């Protein structure tokens, strides 16, 4: 019974996390999903339709079988930003891990190839699916989640992915990895994978890829490599269950102490968010193009921008900014963490909030005095400051390289990784499940094991369990091997 309790607990935790980023259904307009498949969820009788939709999108839906190969380290992410963070992680730890541990499509859970479907015919599995549906219904009701097409899409994605990866991991339990690296803590799919990993006692490492806001879910990973102290402060207000919080700079090679002059500004680089307004962007480009003090206007689009939208701005689109130096380029962004990234690269930066429909000053950069806000009429003027001074101390909370934690935390990351990938994962995984079963059958026995673990007396206690028929000889061997590899 305790085995089921633990499974439902991680499932419910993930369910709450999956709707946290949309403020439990009271979301900003930029996150709205208007898929026709879910429009009945916007009607008054939405709670009745919830059962119908969950049956359609979960209970009756076929379960894909994924081809999972063994590797000590796996990754879970598919976007350009995710993959960039995975490569960064590998560069930090490449001296301690193998070339085969480098991120690729072969060791990425999110891009694993489908290999048919899994037929689930047992009454036990079907009953469990019903249990997940009922649990979801109760959680949404008691948690006062506002039901609409958007919140339903997040919930249905989570519950389906949770079950899919639970079944696939269960069927490949002998070749599960030691560590899974994530770079997204709020997308329903990756929340589901993370919770399934937690259930299977797989260590999870989170690489933060963008600024965080207070609507993000609690940070629930064994190790989290954050961007800066400011992110840690926000996560601690939200809630943290991570055992380790590390802060490692993504700007290690920047010459912070080198002086920069801004008297030759001739270029403007616009960095929109992923949900920018085409009308606003076009108007911005028009105003800036007529500004006599500006020679060139460029746009660096978000990695998730659709191909057709990229084509509309191909005349001014840039992907590599190496040719745009801070001395001659000023940056204007919407509600995007790229504004802070460019500021840390010593570009004089501003925000233009009409560029998207996201809540004004979503990340708080203007409120914190890091950048200034621009209005549409400002774009016709010489809005930048030629005497701008890059104040390094002001940004110490936003870059661990400045604050001094960078190199210490790289060492801590490598030490943690070595400790966890050099353990026999298969033995440890089996033993964790054996211990879980013992806990389910006899709580007192498990409490004794917990008190004595790592101790010579553990083996004497295990012998007593065997003589009293609490555990089998097979369980005894696996548990002993588990303690020897801890």
The token pair at 225 is: 């490599």
Specify which residues 372 forms β-bridges with: 350
Give the range among 79-93, 307-321, 358-372 with minimum mean pLDDT.
307-321
**Sorting pLDDT into bands at 50, 70 and 90, what band is 257?**
very low
pLDDT at 467 over 80: no
Report which of residues 252 and 299 the model is more confident about: 299
Report which of residues 230 and 28 the model is more confident about: 230
- For residue 73, give the 3-state DSSP assignment: strand
Report which of residues 390 and 67 the model is more confident about: 67
Q: Quick one: pLDDT at residue 445?
A: 47
Kindly tell me the sign of the dihedral angle through the C-alpha atoms of 472, 473, 477, 483. Answer: positive
If you average pLDDT over residues 163-186, what whole number do you get? 91
pLDDT at 136 over 80: yes
What's the whole-number average pLDDT of the chain?
A: 81
Element (H, E) at 169: helix 149-171
Q: Quick one: pLDDT at residue 346?
A: 83
Cα–Cα distance, 334 to 352 (Å, whole number): 5
Q: Which domains are assigned to the chain?
A: 2-251+407-419 (no CATH), 267-391 (3.40.50), 423-484 (no CATH)
Q: Quick one: pLDDT at residue 373?
A: 94
Q: Quick one: pLDDT at residue 442?
A: 47
- Smallest Cα–Cα separation from 30: which of 288, 215, 299? 215
If you average pLDDT over residues 244-258, what whole number do you get? 73
Q: Quick one: pLDDT at residue 477?
A: 65
If you average pLDDT over residues 136-158, what whole number do you get? 86
CB atoms within 10 A of CB 36: 7
pLDDT at 451 over 60: no
Specify which residues 76 forms β-bridges with: 182
pLDDT in tens, 310-363: 677 766 777 777 778 888 899 999 999 889 888 888 888 999 999 988 888 988
Q: Quick one: pLDDT at residue 427?
A: 44
CB atoms within 10 A of CB 281: 22
Cα–Cα distance, 365 to 414 (Å, whole number): 32
Give the range among 36-45, 105-114, 312-321 with minimum mean pLDDT.
36-45
> How many angstroms separate the Cα of 390 from the Cα of each of 262, 310, 327, 386?
10, 32, 12, 12
The token pair at 87 is: 């490569």
If you average pLDDT over residues 241-256, what whole number do you get? 76
Place of tokens 């519950």: 159
Contacts of 306 (CB under 8 A, 6+ apart): none
């Amino acid at each position: 019974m305790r085995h089921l309790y633990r499974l439902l607990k991680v499932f419910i935790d993930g369910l709450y996390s999956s709707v946290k980023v949309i403020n439990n259904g009271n979301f900003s307009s930029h996150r709205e999903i208007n898929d026709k498949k879910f429009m009945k969820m916007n009607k008054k009788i939405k709670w009745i339709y919830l059962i119908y939709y969950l049956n359609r999108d979960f209970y009756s839906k076929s379960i894909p079988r994924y081809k999972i190969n063994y590797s000590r380290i796996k990754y879970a992410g598919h976007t350009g930003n995710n993959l960039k963070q995975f490569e960064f992680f590998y560069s930090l730890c490449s001296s301690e891990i193998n070339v085969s541990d480098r991120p690729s499509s072969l060791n990425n859970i999110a891009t694993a190839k489908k290999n048919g479907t899994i037929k689930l015919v047992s009454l036990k599995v079907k009953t469990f699916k019903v249990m997940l549906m009922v649990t979801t219904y109760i959680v949404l009701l008691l948690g006062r989640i506002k039901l609409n097409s958007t919140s339903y899409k997040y919930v249905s994605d989570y519950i389906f992915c949770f079950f899919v990866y639970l079944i696939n991991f269960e069927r490949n339990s002998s070749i599960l990895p030691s560590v899974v690296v994530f770079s997204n803590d709020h997308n329903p799919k990756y929340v589901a994978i993370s919770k399934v990993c937690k259930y299977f006692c797989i260590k999870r490492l989170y690489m933060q890829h963008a600024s965080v806001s207070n609507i993000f879910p609690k940070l629930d990973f064994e190790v989290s490599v954050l961007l800066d102290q400011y992110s840690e402060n926000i996560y601690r207000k939200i809630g943290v269950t991570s055992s380790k919080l590390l802060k490692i700079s993504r700007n290690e090679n920047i010459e912070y102490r080198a002086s920069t002059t801004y008297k030759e500004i001739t270029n403007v680089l616009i960095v929109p968010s992923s949900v920018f307004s085409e009308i606003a962007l076009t108007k911005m480009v028009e105003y800036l193009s007529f500004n006599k003090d500006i020679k060139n206007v460029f746009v660096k689009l978000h990695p998730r921008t659709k191909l057709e939208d990229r084509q509309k701005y191909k005349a001014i689109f840039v992907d590599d900014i190496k040719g745009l130096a801070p001395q001659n380029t000023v940056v204007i962004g919407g509600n995007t963490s790229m504004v802070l990234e460019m500021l840390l690269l010593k570009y004089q930066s501003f925000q233009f909030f009409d560029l998207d429909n996201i809540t004004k000053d979503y990340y708080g950069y203007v409120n914190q005095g890091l950048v200034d806000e621009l209005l549409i009429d400002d774009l016709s003027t010489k809005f930048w400051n030629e005497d701008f001074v890059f104040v390094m101390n002001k940004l110490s909370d936003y870059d661990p390289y400045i604050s001094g934690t960078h190199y210490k935390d790289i060492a801590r990351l490598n030490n943690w990784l070595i400790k966890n990938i050099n353990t026999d994962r298969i033995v440890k995984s089996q033993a964790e499940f054996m211990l879980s079963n013992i806990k389910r059958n006899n709580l007192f026995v498990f409490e004794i094991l917990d008190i004595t673990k790592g101790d010579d007396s553990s083996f004497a206690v295990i012998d007593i369990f065997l003589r009293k028929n609490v555990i089998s000889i097979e369980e005894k061997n696996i548990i002993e091997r588990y303690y020897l590899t801890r």
